[in-house]
Amino acid sequence: MAGLVLDRTKSGVYRVFAGFFLAALAFASKNTTSNRALRQDAYGYAPFEVDCPNPRPAIRNSMSMSREETSWVEKRRNNTVWAIRNFVSRANISGFDTDNYMDKIAENSTTLPNIAIAMSGGGWRALMNGAGALAAYDNRTTNSTSPGQAGGLLQAATYLTGLSGGSWLVGSLYVPQLRSVEQLYRMDPNASDSLWQFDHSIIQGPVTLSTTEYYGTITDEIQNKENAGFNTTITDLWGRGLSFQLFNTKDGGPNYTFSSLGQNPDFQSGQVPLPIIVAIERTPNQLLILANSSVYEINPWEIGTFDSPTAAFASLQFVGSNFSGGVVPDNQSCVSGFDNMGFVVGTSSSLFNQAYLQVNKTNAPARVVEYVSGKLEQVGNQNSDVSDWVNPFYRFHPEVNTNANSRILSLVDGGEDLQNIPLHPLLQTARKVDVIFAVDSSADTAAPGANWPNGTSLVATYQRSLLESGRQVPFPAVPDQNTFINLGLNSRPTFFGCDASNLTQPAPLIVYIPNSPYTYHSNISTFQMETNDTERNSIIQNGYNVATMANGTIDKEWPACIGCAILTRSFWKTQTEMPTTCQNCFARYCWNGTTNSTAPTPYAPTPAVKASGSAKRRAIASAPVVGSFLCLFIMVWGIVNI
Ligand SMILES: *[C@@H]1O[C@H](CO)[C@@H](O)[C@H](O)[C@H]1NC(C)=O
Ligand SMILES: *[C@@H]1O[C@H](CO)[C@@H](O)[C@H](O)[C@H]1NC(C)=O
Ligand SMILES: *[C@@H]1O[C@H](CO)[C@@H](O)[C@H](O)[C@H]1NC(C)=O
Ligand SMILES: *[C@@H]1O[C@H](CO)[C@@H](O)[C@H](O)[C@H]1NC(C)=O
Ligand SMILES: *[C@@H]1O[C@H](CO)[C@@H](O)[C@H](O)[C@H]1NC(C)=O
Ligand SMILES: *[C@@H]1O[C@H](CO)[C@@H](O)[C@H](O)[C@H]1NC(C)=O
Ligand SMILES: *[C@@H]1O[C@H](CO)[C@@H](O)[C@H](O)[C@H]1NC(C)=O
Ligand SMILES: *[C@@H]1O[C@H](CO)[C@@H](O)[C@H](O)[C@H]1NC(C)=O
Ligand SMILES: *[C@@H]1O[C@H](CO)[C@@H](O)[C@H](O)[C@H]1NC(C)=O
Ligand SMILES: *[C@@H]1O[C@H](CO)[C@@H](O)[C@H](O)[C@H]1NC(C)=O
Ligand SMILES: *[C@@H]1O[C@H](CO)[C@@H](O)[C@H](O)[C@H]1NC(C)=O
Ligand SMILES: *[C@@H]1O[C@H](CO)[C@@H](O)[C@H](O)[C@H]1NC(C)=O
């Protein structure tokens, strides 16, 4: 099994398939109870009953931020004052006394900039490209606060959101304790102790475990969850597999829940930004994701949605309890441990539904397509191709709430409504965000230059803001995708919504940071599940270069322009004239309303800095990769249900 890798040829799919079939047989005959004794003193992956708190957990409507968030944000924003002051001072906005300005605004929460960072989806590509950007923004990264650099933005931020591949990055940083990107991988390709071992795919498991141990552990855990009376789906498998790469190479951190972050002293005291993970609701009995689907967010205190018709939040720690009509009734126990961190990020990245819709269009061999469709149809009928949460909104406002009759809350990959950048939580007016650094690692473009972003995610968010139901989430105007390419808005940082007076409702400035080649062709396929350490480091480094515009070598005023972006809404609120440096930055980076929607020439960008390293890549036929990816999970799934 150790030699089993995804083979990128069509016939390879059969080999992978056969390999898994044999592995499955080997495992099914294994005594699956052997591992359980190890976890006698810990709860492990399965949710468990706890004493209900007093008052008992209840659903709240989404008219405002939670009480917990309100008091936490006050602490956090106080802590960002120093970091913002430092950042804008280092940014060297010439001709402007930033210290003097900060003295004037720091005491007032309206004028103190409220900064957010959003990490898009896009599989491992998004994780690595996003990691490069976060490393650039993190003052703990070596040399990140030297001239030309952008370090300290992370320390200045109040919110950090992640979706799908971006949620893996955010989760990995926070679990089991808060770390920097530099701590999560080693630049030394020979180091075997780094967490991000992407040269071993989730299919193979970590180098430290035999395949039998790896799958044995995962299947036991899922069986335990079922034995405890909970429904499981492919997402449970997916989340457990991810956990070995993201949290802990030895056991995948089965005990780690998102809500337990609330007990971390650094988090409690507001030393780090608030992490938020995004997913989408799949309406009961509905396969298609509509443009107005409810966007769910999971933060350390709550899971829920700001969107109608549910528009409510439940305590994350007690999700898994049988809520009914907005409370956990007296005759029901309270449950904890459902919000396993791997399950949370697995939920945000449960792409399977999409694959189901596309599998017939792939050019995988007929036998495989037939097998996959057959199996997926089966699980699809049971609603198992999504992530099943115990629905805390059961019988909650049944007169309006479309999921009130369902015991199950079905959540799918956060990018399935095309809003692949997790902006939605940050656009909620209650949160009063001033500027969002939107790191986009989407795969929007087609060959010859495939897997680069072209603004599709921003377009989706803008269009949603124009819907009747989108009124609550104001968003600045953005042009169509052709314009993005024709004007190069997707190949360099671009600001949207620069002129606050052109907005009908207050909305944040969007600093769009699209993935593009600076030093490496970082546009690997979303379904590339393995990346050797050299390529991993190159993609992370490319992401770093994108975020810093090659250490300020492409524009030596880029750090100043980031500083201006941070301060712009504050300038507007205090009616301060923009410094000349900022006016010049805005002339360079703001989209000014021009469009050019003619069909662009094929997009095939070349590295902006120099063609370091050969850009020659493995030919990846994504269809067979998707096919074999699904085969794996179906095979393992079969085992769990034996
Ligand atoms: C990074 O920022 C934090 C918070 O603003 C500060 O406490 C710390 O000293 C900074 N570290 C470095 C290396 O600059
Ligand atoms: C700050 O900006 C001024 C004017 O653009 C420039 O001369 C100076 O070298 C910059 N300082 C740093 C540390 O980048
Ligand atoms: C940091 O900067 C120093 C001085 O410029 C340089 O010698 C060193 O190689 C840099 N470190 C990294 C990791 O880039
Ligand atoms: C499991 O799913 C079925 C529907 O498929 C539902 O009726 C049942 O209530 C669910 N059980 C739990 C514990 O969520
Ligand atoms: C979402 O769109 C569908 C179809 O356009 C419509 O039937 C439904 O009422 C909309 N839902 C909301 C909450 O606006
Ligand atoms: C919740 O309700 C389901 C029935 O849908 C039941 O099987 C399960 O035991 C209940 N959970 C708890 C913790 O009482
Ligand atoms: C990445 O983009 C380049 C052009 O920018 C293209 O030549 C290459 O084929 C793309 N790679 C993949 C894996 O699509
Ligand atoms: C790592 O992967 C890249 C891209 O597939 C390949 O070009 C390179 O040769 C690999 N390096 C090693 C050391 O295997
Ligand atoms: C930017 O600086 C980092 C070290 O801080 C270095 O590794 C990277 O290669 C530099 N980027 C460019 C484009 O020179
Ligand atoms: C905070 O700043 C806003 C905008 O300038 C102003 O309207 C408000 O009165 C200020 N609040 C305090 C307490 O000074
Ligand atoms: C707006 O931007 C376009 C290019 O993006 C440029 O050609 C045009 O001159 C700009 N218009 C104004 C009024 O600055
Ligand atoms: C200003 O607002 C209008 C109306 O929403 C919009 O069409 C236009 O593109 C906006 N201009 C800019 C530069 O954002």
**Local confidence band at 243 (pLDDT 50, 70, 90 cut-offs):** very high
Q: Whose CA is nearest to atom 6 of ligand 3?
A: 143
**Local confidence band at 370 (pLDDT 50, 70, 90 cut-offs):** low
Which pLDDT belongs to residue 462? 97
**585 or 234, which is more confident:** 585
Nearest atom of ligand 4 to the alpha carbon of 408: 14
Ligand nearest the Cα of residue 233 is 4
Tokens of 278: 């995004």
Q: How far apart are CA 438 and CA 423, in angstroms?
A: 8
**Local confidence band at 193 (pLDDT 50, 70, 90 cut-offs):** low
- Convert the pLDDT of each residue in 219-238 to its tens digit: 888 889 989 999 887 788 88
- Convert the pLDDT of each residue in 457-471 to its tens digit: 999 999 999 997 777
Whether 398 has a pLDDT exceeding 60, the answer reads: yes
The pTM score is 0.90
Which pLDDT belongs to residue 363? 45
Q: Could you tell me the distance, in angstroms and rounded to a whole number, from the CA of residue 587 to the centre of ligand 11?
A: 9
- Please state at what angle helix 622-640 crosses helix 10-28, rounded to 10 degrees: 10
Percent with pLDDT over 70 in the chain: 81
User: For the residues 205-221, what does the mean pLDDT come to?
Assistant: 82
Q: Which residue has the tokens 């929007």?
A: 444
Which pLDDT belongs to residue 250? 87
User: For the residues 560-564, what does the mean pLDDT come to?
Assistant: 98
Regarding beta strands 334-336 and 48-50, do their DSSP bridges make them parallel or antiparallel, or are they unpaired?
A: antiparallel
Ligand nearest the Cα of residue 403 is 5
**Local confidence band at 253 (pLDDT 50, 70, 90 cut-offs):** very high
- Convert the pLDDT of each residue in 262-290 to its tens digit: 999 999 999 999 999 999 999 877 777 88
User: For the residues 615-633, what does the mean pLDDT come to?
Assistant: 35
- Please state which of the ranges 232-241, 271-280, 318-327, 411-420 shows the lowest mean pLDDT: 232-241
**Local confidence band at 432 (pLDDT 50, 70, 90 cut-offs):** very high
Which segment, 21-25, 87-91, 470-474, 630-634, is predicted with the most confidence on average? 87-91
Which pLDDT belongs to residue 286? 76
Which pLDDT belongs to residue 191? 57
Which pLDDT belongs to residue 527? 82
Choosing from 104, 105, 111 the residue with most ligand 10 atoms within 8 A of its CB, the one to mutate for a pocket test is 111
Which pLDDT belongs to residue 359? 42
The pLDDT mean for the chain works out to: 84
Tokens of 480: 């169509």
- Please state which of the ranges 137-141, 225-229, 316-320, 638-642 shows the lowest mean pLDDT: 638-642
Ligand nearest the Cα of residue 474 is 12
Ligand 6 binding pocket includes 229 (Cβ within 6 Å)? yes
Q: Whose CA is nearest to atom 5 of ligand 10?
A: 574
Ligand 6 binding pocket includes 322 (Cβ within 6 Å)? yes
**339 or 190, which is more confident:** 339
Q: How far apart are CA 480 and CA 492, in angstroms?
A: 16
**Local confidence band at 213 (pLDDT 50, 70, 90 cut-offs):** confident
Percent with pLDDT over 90 in the chain: 68
Whether 598 has a pLDDT exceeding 60, the answer reads: yes
Which pLDDT belongs to residue 225? 92
**552 or 34, which is more confident:** 552
User: For the residues 331-345, what does the mean pLDDT come to?
Assistant: 96
Q: Could you tell me the distance, in angstroms and rounded to a whole number, from the CA of residue 590 to the centre of ligand 11?
A: 10
Ligand 6 binding pocket includes 469 (Cβ within 6 Å)? no
**Local confidence band at 629 (pLDDT 50, 70, 90 cut-offs):** very low
Whether 38 has a pLDDT exceeding 80, the answer reads: no
Whether 208 has a pLDDT exceeding 90, the answer reads: no
**260 or 249, which is more confident:** 260
Counting other chains too, the contacts that 92-100 makes at CB distance below 8 Å and 24 or more residues apart are 92/147, 92/559, 92/560, 93/560, 93/563, 93/564, 93/579, 93/581, 93/582, 94/560, 94/579, 94/581, 95/579, 95/580, 95/581, 96/579, 96/581, 96/582, 98/563
**497 or 372, which is more confident:** 497
Which pLDDT belongs to residue 192? 55
Task: Give kind and range of the element (H or E) at residue 558.
Answer: helix 558-573
Sorted by sequence, the CB contacts under 8 Å of residue 62 that are 6+ apart come out as 304, 305, 306, 311, 312, 313
- Please state which of the ranges 32-46, 305-319, 515-529, 566-580 shows the lowest mean pLDDT: 32-46
Whether 159 has a pLDDT exceeding 90, the answer reads: yes
Which pLDDT belongs to residue 291? 84
Which pLDDT belongs to residue 190? 55
Ligand 5 binding pocket includes 604 (Cβ within 6 Å)? no
Within 10 Å of residue 336's Cβ, how many Cβ atoms?
21
- Give, as one character, the DSSP assignment of residue 417: T
Which domains are present in the chain?
9-640 (3.40.1090.10)
Ligand 10 binding pocket includes 89 (Cβ within 6 Å)? no
**Local confidence band at 579 (pLDDT 50, 70, 90 cut-offs):** very high
Which pLDDT belongs to residue 353? 44
Q: In angstroms, how far is the first alpha carbon of the chain from the final one?
A: 21
Nearest to 197 by CA among 261, 139, 245: 245
Whether 417 has a pLDDT exceeding 80, the answer reads: yes
